[in-house]
Amino acid sequence: MGNAMLRAAMLLTFLLGLASALVGLAQAQGDGVPMSEMPVQVLYCEEDPGPVNPGGGRAISPDTLRNEFDCRPGAGVALTFSNQEMGWFARCDMDAEGECTVETPVGPEVELDVAIHMATVEPGYAPEQPIGTAVNYTEFAGYGVVLLPVGETTPAPNAERQTLAVNVATCKDGSNAAGCERQPAGALVQASAGEATAKGYPWLATNDEGWVSFDRAGLKGDSIDLMLQTGTEPRFACTDVESGKRLEAEWIEGREGNFIRLTPTSAGEITCDVTLLGEVGS
């Protein structure tokens, strides 16, 4: 009887400790969703090595990638991981080794959308697909991207992508007053060709300074739509960089979401300053 009571007491202690740990994890995440770090890697390769997984397992060795497939680190390339249903997103910028670590929701049923910031990719290279999915669940979870040469001609050494650069901010004092001191906002932005559906275009996250850029090569048409996750019309201004002239732009509340529609005057660089009013995602 004594041993049975002792075992019961030990089991109860274990279960209470496990429950306490789980509650602590849920409280740490705020919304009760467990999180875990996942390694990410981006490579420029002259030959296709096939799938690359920085999480381990049967991953191709770095020496093999360098020597057999002529791969090098994708330094500076950015990826956005998101789950719209959970209202979660994170941006991961590759370091000099073409690597980063992102903390994501965990679970076999938690699918993460992954989008490559093509404006951060060297001209002349592209992934097989700019948008993918990931699941962070096993100990070998990881996400790898291989950027391969496209086209038959080599870009000029000083070639650059023409971009639409968007800076998103809020009023630092929360006043929403015109001329307020702005502070960078963490937000998702989607850019698509105007007068067309936004489906299939990636949502990209701003960096720590509130900037996110889009490759204008993928935004053909007479207008460009910038979709934002806000229910309140923001203050905004877009400029053609070369001429310095303000572009025509308007706020539209559409079926797929609310967006700024701007009309470019050239195929060159554009910058947009956006000040969100009210809470992001409201």
Q: How far apart are CA 33 and CA 207, in angstroms?
A: 24
Please check the confidence at residue 15 and state whether its pLDDT lies above 70. no
Structure tokens at 227: 């979709």
CA distances 147 to 52, 65, 214, Å, are: 11, 13, 17
pLDDT of residue 33: 83
* Spatial separation of the C-alpha atoms in residues 149 and 85, rounded to whole Å: 35
| Amino acid, single-letter form, for residue 9 | A
In the block, residue with structure tokens 């890697």: 41
189: pLDDT strictly greater than 60:
yes
For residue 170, give the 3-state DSSP assignment. strand
Does the structure show a pLDDT above 70 at 20? no
Q: What pLDDT sits at residue 31?
A: 62
Residue 145: what pLDDT?
95
Q: How confident is the model at residue 36 (pLDDT cuts 50, 70, 90)?
A: very high
Alpha helices in 99-250 (DSSP H): none
Cα–Cα nearest to 220, from 240, 196, 250: 196
Per-residue pLDDT at 14 exceeds 90 = no
**CA atoms within 13 Å, Cβ hemisphere of 237:** 6
pLDDT at position 231 is 84
CA 102 vs CA 33, 36, 97, 186: distances in Å: 15, 8, 15, 15
* CA terminus-to-terminus distance, the chain: 60
Beta bridge partners of 91: 80
| Percentage of the chain modeled with pLDDT above 90 | 62
Per-residue confidence at 177, pLDDT binned at 50, 70, 90? Answer: confident
pLDDT digits (tens, 9 = 90+) for 106-165: 998 899 999 999 999 999 999 988 899 999 988 889 999 999 999 765 665 557 899 999
User: For the purposes of burial, counting CB atoms within 10 Å of the CB of 233, is it exposed (0-12), middle (13-18) or buried (19 or more)?
Assistant: middle
Q: What is the pLDDT of residues 236-274, one digit of tens each?
A: 999 999 999 999 999 999 888 899 999 999 999 999 999
Q: Select, from the ranges 28-32, 82-86, 136-140, 174-178, the one with the highest average predicted confidence (pLDDT).
A: 82-86
279 has a pLDDT exceeding 80? no
Q: Among 35-39, 54-58, 112-116, 222-226, which is the least confidently predicted range?
A: 54-58
- Residue 22 has phi, psi (to 5 degrees) of -65, -40
